[in-house]
Amino acid sequence: EAVQLFANDPETKAIVMIGEIGGDLEIQAAKWIKANCKKPVIGFIAGETAPVGRTMGHAGAIVSGADESAAAKKKVMRESGIHVVDSPATIGAKVKEVLG
């Protein structure tokens, strides 16, 4: 829902999407972005080093399957045209690069 709001906002020039391991919301968003969003999207997935089955983070994120891993989500995001970064420290530079 949030991505759709930003995609439809005329003042938003780019979207930054930050997700985490577990679940499939980021994959759903990536598929929606590929089909509907004309704005550049920069993405980051936290939890790259989390082992399968271990609870991580403040929300108790857990990777219960291979397609919920950070690597799997990043792959789908890239295939959807999202500019994926490997560190939150590089988000600003990537936004600047994408916007020119």
Query: Which of these is catalytic: 58, 87, 89, 100?
Result: 58
Residues near 42 by beta carbon (within 8 Å), at least 6 away in sequence: 14, 15, 16, 17, 82, 83, 84, 85, 91, 94, 95, 98
* Residue-wise pLDDT tens digits, 12-70: 999 999 998 888 899 999 999 999 999 999 999 998 876 666 665 555 555 555 577 88
Minimal CA–CA distance to 43: which of 24, 70, 66? 70
Domains present along the chain, CATH in parentheses: 2-99 (3.40.50.261)
* Residue-wise pLDDT tens digits, 64-86: 555 778 899 999 999 999 999 99
Residue 58 bears catalytic tag: yes
